[in-house]
Structure 1
């Protein structure tokens, strides 16, 4: 998620949006994986502008947090 997007959008009071390629690069997965998640209803929410998909940075952050595995970290005292 580039600083250029954040700076330009925030100056107008708009939330930054990223495209499929930027999302795939951020997550380290192929673009085809993002499209596969979309068709199976597994990926982050998106906006469609004609043929273009855009993802709100806040929706991506929420979705990423939801992907965290359920294991609880072990505390320093071993519990």
Structure 2
């Protein structure tokens, strides 16, 4: 079973204020679970959110003139 995180815990893990994960929930940009009046975010949902927004580096660095650096 997946662990459930509070909004405060998600904010701390992301290094943001509580307002950011609350906005993600409001805009339905992240999966969440309602437990009575409480909102919880599955750990897998947070991992998926981070993975989907991770930018990989370019394989070859480019010079500032658009050519591949030697």
Shorter-chain TM-score bucket reads 0.7 to 0.9
SS in 2 for 1:53: strand
Displacement of 1:58 in angstroms is 1.2
Runs of 4+ in 1 over 2 A off after TM superposition: none
Please give the TM-score of this superposition, normalised by the length of structure 2.
Answer: 0.72
Please give the TM-score of this superposition, normalised by the length of structure 1.
Answer: 0.65
> What are the within-5 Å matches in structure 2 for residues 1-79 of structure 1?
14-42=1-29, 44-69=30-55, 72-75=57-60
Displacement of 1:27 in angstroms is 0.2
Cα-Cα RMSD: 2.2
CA distance in 2, matches of 1:62, 1:55: 11
Structure of higher CA gyration radius:
2
- Structure 2: stretches of 5+ with no match in the other structure: 62-67
SS in 1 for 2:22: helix
